Amino acid sequence: MRIKQKLISFDAREALAEIKIPEPRELLALFEKDGMNTNIAAELRIYGLPIAKVLIPRLFERGKLQGIISSLFRRSLAGLTPDEAKRVMPEIGSMVEIPGGRYTLGDNDGEYDDEKPEHTVIVDPYAIDIFTVTNGQFREGAADLYRFREFWAAQGWQLKEAKGWSQPRFWGDKKNKKFNGDSQPVVGVSWYEAFAYLIWRSKQEGIDSQGFLTDKFFDLDKIYDKANSRWIWEGYRFPTEAEIEIAIRGGLEGEKYPWTEGLEGKAHYGQGKNGVTVEVNDPNFPANGYGLRHSVGNVWTWGFDWFGSEYYQQLQLAEQKTETIKNPIGPDTDNNRVVRGGSWDYTAGYLCVAGRYDFDPDGHGSNLGFRGARSL
């Protein structure tokens, strides 16, 4: 499948070729032993240099490696003005490839029971938006998606008609226009409106959703093959809860947050009731190891899954009885959809990489946003 939007991918051979190290084995051994700093890894991604996907989980610090990496750049983000830093970032709308494989999720030491236990999942490669979807992006599709039934799951369209949804909640709200900047994340959109946008976005690339949208809701069997635990749908969709957690971890394991150094100065959170979102490409907030901006904080990220408070326990039990679960998509049903990552108005405890939360799918909070994903 060809993704037309800019996709930053990471291939080991390409990475080693660009770095031009005389003896690749020496570099591999260096990564294996100590690795490099996660901030440097994120900077590499910002500049578009491929990084070997098998090395990502081991990116920490090594003095010798710093010299090699430093020689690859004429200038660092730290020395740029905010406007210059934005210009060297990926374009809004770019996606990053997350390698398929086996991942450990959850946290046995988590503050809340639904974060436990740690368990293993297998996911196929997928792409996810580097930035949460912005007001500017959503405006491109709003005129169409609020007019035409073809983009909506049946329940969403019924709610739209009954409640008079015609735009995101804050677009027409003069009191809260502070949320409406083009480069700020679009907020005040329900799960159903975000879903409709992703279908609209797919259609812009010639991918028609009429095969699975039905009068009842949507036909899951036409977008996901349960027998083989794989996605059929090639268009844009919500990332699953597992895919969100993998992406926001940024290749790290055993860490509470997406960075080894904690949250201080890295995430937008704890602003209180008078706070507001910041631009998705604000250079004051670093990327995580996979290059995601605001991987935690700023806005909660809607997930595909229904929320299950005991779902992680169920995944571990299934793993013990049979085999590691592949491409999990959550419980069959529940009242709420899962959200991950915390937001501008929540405290640090909600920004943990294993932190789980949920909202009613027709929720329109100023702290609810989303990213698109695609199977590869």
Instruction: Average the pLDDT over 69-94 and give the result.
Output: 63
Residue 97 confidence class, pLDDT cut points 50, 70, 90: very high
Looking at residue 322, its pLDDT comes to 79
Query: Which residue is listed with tokens 């229904």?
Result: 306
The tens digit of pLDDT for each residue in 300-328 reads: 999 999 999 999 999 999 888 878 899 99
Q: What is the mean pLDDT of residues 37-56?
A: 44
Do 115 and 309 touch, CB atoms closer than 8 A? Answer: no
Of the two residues 186 and 5, the one the predictor is more confident about is 186
Facing residues of 213 across strands? 218
Report the DSSP beta bridge partners of residue 105: 119
Q: Of 33, 26, 11, 18, which is closest to residue 69 (Cα–Cα)?
A: 18
Q: How far is C-alpha 287 from the geometric centre of its chain's CA atoms?
A: 12
| Residue 127 three-state SS | strand
Delimiting residues of CATH 3.90.1580.10 domain(s) in the chain: 97-375
Supply the pLDDT for residue 62.
37
Q: What is the mean pLDDT of residues 283-303?
A: 95
User: With contact defined as beta carbons under 8 Å apart, do 373 and 233 qualify?
Assistant: no
What integer pLDDT is reported at residue 217 of this predicted model? 84
pLDDT in tens, 259-279: 998 898 999 999 988 999 999
Q: Which two tokens stand for residue 93?
A: 């709308």
> Does residue 117 register a pLDDT over 80?
yes
| 357 CB neighbour count, 10 Å cutoff | 17
Percentage of the chain lying above the pLDDT 90 cut:
67
**pLDDT for 150 beyond 70:** yes
On average, the pLDDT of the chain sits at 83
What pLDDT sits at residue 210?
A: 82
Position 72 scores a pLDDT of: 41
Q: Average pLDDT of 339-349? A: 97
Four-CA torsion 106, 251, 94, 87, nearest 10 degrees: 130
Q: Where does 97-375 sit in CATH, by number? A: 3.90.1580.10
Cβ–Cβ under 8 Å, residues 304 and 237: yes
How far is the C-alpha of 231 from the C-alpha of 374, rounded, in Å? Answer: 9
pTM above 0.85, yes or no: no
The identity of residue 268, as a single letter, is H
Q: What is the pLDDT of residue 42?
A: 53
Residue 51 has pLDDT above 70, yes or no: no
